Structure 1
Amino acid sequence: MDLYTSGVRATAGSLRAAVGPETVALRHAWTEEGVVAGPAANGAQVLNLSVALCVLNDTYREAERLGITIDGVAVEADGGFDEDWKSTGISYDVTIDSPAPVEDQARLAAVVDEVAEIPRVLRAGARVVRRG
């Protein structure tokens, strides 16, 4: 059972949200105006935001590689935690604004889900140790 949730959103291009009190604007290699992301008020949100930003970035990268034009991307990620602060998992949704056929957009989303580095690391399990 999820006792704590930490939903976040990363947006760019034509789907870029306005900067607000709980969001930040970040420079982005694939868009001139950058990305709006947030909230990032605690570590759980930052963890989920790392997934959202990675998926957003890789959507632009893979679209270019596949020759698919995209005008905007929005990624919403959420994850829950139980009473012992163990993750109950992270899920995300991607919205792509593109003139490309729906089939091409679906193929792009599938490729991104395979190659996005942060989701891959989390799926494999990451060891975290204190060094000092």
Structure 2
Amino acid sequence: MEQFAVVVGAGTGRSDQPGAVRFPHRWTDEGVTVESDFTGAHLLHLAAAGCVLNDVYREAAGLNIPVDGVRVTASGGFDTTTWASTGITYRVDLRSPASAEDQARLLARVDEVAEIPRAIRAGAPVQRL
């Protein structure tokens, strides 16, 4: 089962890979990098990873935790007969001078509030108009 992995990075977590796409980013001057194929499966995982990255910066600012960089990898499988997701996992590489306790508190908060992962977990109807 293919895992449809994506990677997003900002700050010291930005990618230097030649195929990485760069986008402006409200939380960092250098913008973000995205490593992803352009399929529906990858885009779903990219939405989750991008939301987590953004929320790391947003929540860190609110908690007064410095962030030097973030790199989020998200992946998951699909049942290729129905194209139902088998779930999404993500990993955050947080680069910060903050204590391990503060970093863990930040990542727990992000996992609690990140909008796209919350929406995916809850499920939502999708319909063509």
Normalized against structure 2, the TM-score is what? 0.95
**AA partner of residue 9 (structure 2):** T
CA distance in 1, matches of 2:125, 2:2: 22
CA distance in 2, matches of 1:40, 1:53: 15
CA distance in 1, matches of 2:83, 2:2: 8
Is contact 1:19-1:25 (8 Å) kept?
A: no
Match of residue 38 from structure 2: 41
How much does 1:82 deviate?
1.1
Query: What SS does the aligned partner of 1:119 have?
Result: helix
- Of residues 65, 73, 76, the one that matches 1:76 is 73
Structure 1, residues 77-132: CA drift from partner, whole Å, max 9, x if none? 0010013211000010001100000000000000000000000000000110011x
How much does 1:40 deviate?
3.3
Structure 1, residues 27-77: CA drift from partner, whole Å, max 9, x if none? 100000100012132111011000010000000000000000010000000
Number of positions where the alignment pairs a residue of Structure 1 with one of Structure 2: 128
CA distance in 1, matches of 2:2, 2:94: 28
Q: How high is the sequence identity, in percent, across the aligned residues?
A: 53
Q: Please say if 1:88 is aligned against 2:60.
A: no
Gaps spanning 5+ residues in structure 2: where?
Answer: none
Gaps spanning 5+ residues in structure 1: where?
Answer: none
Match of residue 6 from structure 1: 4
Mapping 1:1-132, distance limit 5 Å: 3-21=1-19, 23-83=20-80, 84-131=82-129
RMSD: 1.0
CA distance in 2, matches of 1:127, 1:19: 36
CA distance in 2, matches of 1:50, 1:20: 22
Normalized against structure 1, the TM-score is what? 0.93
CA distance in 2, matches of 1:10, 1:64: 19
Which structure has more strand as a fraction of its residues? 2
